[in-house]
Structure 1
Amino acid sequence: MTERRIRLGDGAEMEVETAGTGGLRVAMLHGAMSSRRMFDALSDRLLAGHSGLSTLAVDLPGFGGSSKPGGGYGYSAQAARIAAVLREDPRPTVVVGHSMGGAIALTLLLAAPDVVDGLVLIGTGLGRSGGSGSIAAYGTPALERELMSRYVAGWLVDPDPALVDALVEDAMRMTPASFDGVRAAIGAYDLGAAKKRLAALDLPVLVMRGARDRTRTAAEAAELTAAFRHAALVEIPDAGHCPHREKPEAAAAAILGWLGEVAAPAGARGATIAAAQGAGGADQL
Structure 2
Amino acid sequence: MKTLAIPGTLCAPSLFDRLAERTPLSTVDWMALGSPADIPTVAARITPTEPHVVLGHSTGGAIALQLALAHPESVAALMLVDTGASMSGHGDVDGLLSMIRAQWGPALWRGVLDRSFARPPDEATMTALLAYAGAASPDVTYEVLDSQRSLDFTPRLAEITVPVTVVHGEFDRARPVEHAQRLAGGIPGAQLHVLPTGHSPVYEAPEAVAALLAELHERV
Match of 1:154 among 108, 112, 115: 115
Match of 2:39 among 50, 56, 75: 75
Q: Identity across aligned pairs (percent)? A: 30
Match of 1:180 among 127, 133, 142: 142
**Cα deviations across residues 137-181 of structure 1 (Å, max 9, x unaligned)?**
435113201221122111111113513322211211112322222
Name the structure with the higher strand share: 1
Match of 1:227 among 164, 186, 191: 186
Q: Which has more radius of gyration? A: 1
**1:19-58 aligned within 5 A:** 24-47=1-24, 55-58=25-28
RMSD: 1.8
**Cα deviations across residues 235-261 of structure 1 (Å, max 9, x unaligned)?**
111x1000001111121122223333x
**Cα deviations across residues 12-39 of structure 1 (Å, max 9, x unaligned)?**
xxxxxxxxxxxx1101111001232111
Give the match for residue 254 of structure 1: 212
CA drift of 1:184 comes to 1.6
Q: Aligned partners of 2:160, 2:10: CA distance in 1, in Å?
A: 30
**Cα deviations across residues 36-92 of structure 1 (Å, max 9, x unaligned)?**
211111122113xxxxxxx221100xx3xx34x3x3111100110112xx11xx2x4
Residues 166 and 192 in structure 2, CA contact (< 8 A), matched pair in contact too: yes
Q: Aligned partners of 2:121, 2:95: CA distance in 1, in Å?
A: 23
Output the amino acid matched with 1:259. Answer: H
Residues 8 and 57 in structure 2, CA contact (< 8 A), matched pair in contact too: yes
Q: TM-score, normalised by structure 2?
A: 0.90
**1:65-214 aligned within 5 A:** 66-67=32-33, 69=34, 71-83=35-47, 86-87=48-49, 90=50, 92-132=51-91, 136-138=94-96, 140-141=98-99, 142-160=103-121, 162=123, 163-194=125-156, 198-214=157-173
Q: Aligned partners of 1:40, 1:129: CA distance in 2, in Å?
A: 30
Asked which structure has the greater RCO (Cα within 8 Å, sep 6+), the reply is 2
Q: Aligned partners of 1:76, 1:242: CA distance in 2, in Å?
A: 24
Q: Aligned partners of 1:151, 1:129: CA distance in 2, in Å?
A: 18
Matched, 1:59 2:18: no
Residues 207 and 221 in structure 1, CA contact (< 8 A), matched pair in contact too: yes
Q: Aligned partners of 2:53, 2:46: CA distance in 1, in Å?
A: 13
Gaps of 5+ in 1: 1-23, 48-54, 263-269, 271-285
Gaps of 5+ in 2: none
Residues 58, 139 of structure 1: alpha-carbon distance in 2 compared, 3 angstrom cutoff: closer
Output the amino acid matched with 1:257. Answer: E
Give the match for residue 14 of structure 1: none
Pairs aligned (count):
216
Output the amino acid matched with 2:192. Answer: L
Name the structure with the higher helix share: 2
Give secondary structure in 1 for the equivalent of 2:208.
helix
Residues 112, 258 of structure 1: alpha-carbon distance in 2 compared, 3 angstrom cutoff: closer
Give secondary structure in 2 for the equivalent of 1:229.
coil
